[in-house]
Structure 1
């Protein structure tokens, strides 16, 4: 991070657990980030949208737990989309220094006006009601994650890190780049994702969208039956490649 920073650097954006890889920043890593932010006066913007969707033991490390002195220069972003499976309600929220929140409000009020009232009441019910849903969701996600990762790793040439949070797998398919189907070569993650969609009828997101062209992202926020069927289609599609 120090090597990438310039005199124009003003903020550090954190997403832990992350999309697309489900990675979690360790306490050690967050301490290093906090030290740099304090020394250089950087703003910390921490996207905590997946904070309740974790598969690790113990409490999820957070930048403000690691270094409370950063509170005056940190903006926390969150919402109900992931923790309560309410993506369609479109409700998010933020907390941070008052002058920054006021500035954000000026921009937001002129761009989207305001969230729909029913969505706000639904979010209020989620945040103030029983809080057992995230744990129920994690219990359902965990076996799906384990199956998905293990089945991907069983494919020759494919590697995949076990995500510590969120509900995505981010396997590396670069060993198949250069192979072709009906004479058309697959050169990158965009080609691979399009091939999976066209030939296997499996939806994915090219890794290039996240800055990692060797990878393709899949979601396991679906049933185990759908995941198993999808994996069979992926395997068959890869087996059909030539070269």
Structure 2
């Protein structure tokens, strides 16, 4: 008599681990890749998906990289946590730009901001620890928390409150498992910027409950309308020993492809993150580190020029989106994203079908208008779209004009 095959899969049959299989693909990169593929195929797609400046990296930074390629010192392994001279330069840059005083031993240079976030959560969290995550949130945050064994606890702030959470909302989300507050200002995807007083209030709440903060300051230089804001550990110095700051050169210096970020943390946590990195990737590319060194030791004239262009585009995109019936677009005060509510467009019939979600709407927009946007589902808030205005003025106007015609 033949035995029935076992219904239990063997380890060999389980080709992808549950831990990795549970990770969602980056929605922003997916949209950007699809838009670029369509453009390569000859379609006139305009992409609002990628969060990267459309400017070239400043020439003096590129020249520093060229020189670094010729220097044999950069052809070898270097310390996993970063070149000593770059770490010191990051210390100096941080004091100059935000007023935060740290030491080189508190700096870990990483392969971009994503690795910084992953390593920070990896060193801060034990299985089951909860992280309060204001929503809308950038797509990578919950995945990094999950990979570290933590639990992301979203707290929703919609357009009626400027996409900014309140202390009362944070307190309602806090449990005895809460360990970390994720704080992001300026925000990706909304462009929301917390005022100095709002940051101080949240900082006092954090201190009252003995929590940690991970604050992502990658958009620190992209603030508009004279908003008075600042870095949480500077405005709340009593949190300095329980705060991790994540930053990098990507947005400030148009260096998204160079992959250089960093962590600023208490020395014990920084040492742990560097140890993790020594086994994961070892040192960041020396050429990229030398380019980053040139960037952070230079002046901020390049970002001043970019900020002026982004400010102009910000006003244009908000004005034009506001002309579409069913779209509500708060004016972002930072970063380079608009995050309009498109709930008024849902439930309508378009091209013979009723579109019920912002994910379906984004697909319809790409198919019919050849405009790539990212649906709010990617950021934990269905009913919205994210549009990056870090693209040329002409493309921006053409893209939004297409949307106006599509929904006229």
Of 292, 296, 301 in structure 2, the residue corresponding to residue 132 of structure 1 is: 301
Residue pair 2:324, 2:407 contacting (<8 A) in 1 also: no
Structure with the greater relative contact order (CA < 8 A, sep ≥ 6): 1 or 2?
Answer: 2
Answer whether contact 2:189 2:337 (CA < 8 A) is retained.
Answer: yes
Q: Say if 2:259 is the partner of 1:97.
A: no
Q: Map 1:93-242 onto structure 2 (within 5 A).
A: 93-239=262-408
1:129 positional shift: 1.6
Counterpart contact for 1:51–1:60, Cα < 8 Å? no
Q: Which runs of 5+ in 2 are unaligned?
A: 1-169
1:38-75 deviations in whole A, cap 9, x for unaligned? Answer: 12111111100000011131653221222111111011
The runs of 5 or more residues in structure 1 that have no matched partner are none
- Whichever of the two has the greater Rg, that structure is 2
Name which of structure 1's ranges 184-193 and 91-100 shifts more when overlaid on structure 2: 184-193
177-186 or 21-30, which deviates more: 177-186
- CA offsets per residue over residues 99-130 of structure 1, 9 Å max, x none? 11112222223223332111111111111123
Query: 2:92 corresponds to which residue?
Result: none
What's the secondary structure of 1:49's corresponding residue?
coil
Could you tell me how far 1:96 is from its partner in structure 2?
1.2
Alignment partner of 2:221: what SS?
A: coil
Going from structure 1 to structure 2, the CA distance change for 1:107 and 1:212 (only over 3 Å counts) comes to same
Contact preservation (8 Å) 2:196, 2:229: no
SS of structure 2 residue aligned to 1:52: coil
What is the match of residue 60 of structure 1?
229
Hey, what's the Cα distance between the residues in 1 that align with 2:391 and 2:227?
26
Q: Which residue of 1 aligns with 2:40?
A: none
Shift in alpha-carbon separation, 1:113–1:238, aligned structure 2, 3 A: farther
In structure 1, distance between residues paired with 2:272 and 2:264: 12
- What's the offset of the Cα at 1:196? 1.4
Quote the Cα distance in structure 2 between the aligned partners of 1:110 and 1:185: 50
Structure 2 Cα separation of the partners of residues 129 and 144 of structure 1: 26
**Distance in 2 (alpha carbons) for counterparts of 1:74 and 1:53:** 22
- TM-score, normalised via structure 2 length: 0.57
* 2:200 counterpart of 1:31: yes
What is the distance in 2 between the residues matched to 1:59 and 1:236?
38
Q: Deviations over 1:171-206 (max 9, x none)?
A: 111111112333232111111111111111111111
CA RMSD of aligned residues (A): 1.3
- Deviation (angstroms), 1:215: 0.7
Give the secondary-structure state (helix, strand or coil) at the position aligned to 1:2: helix
Q: Which residue of 2 aligns with 1:19?
A: 188
Distance 2:301 2:335 in 1: 17
Contact 2:219-2:252 within 8 A present in 1 as well? yes
Q: Is 1:77 aligned to residue 77 of structure 2?
A: no
Inter-partner Cα distance in structure 2 for 1:74 and 1:102: 15
Q: 2:351 & 2:227 partners in 1: Cα distance?
A: 50
The verdict on how the C-alpha distance between 1:58 and 1:26 changes in structure 2, with shifts beyond 3 A counting, is closer
For residues 28 and 4 of structure 1, the distance between their equivalents in structure 2, rounded to whole angstroms, comes to 21
Residue correspondences, number: 239
Question: 1:3 aligns to what SS in structure 2?
Answer: helix
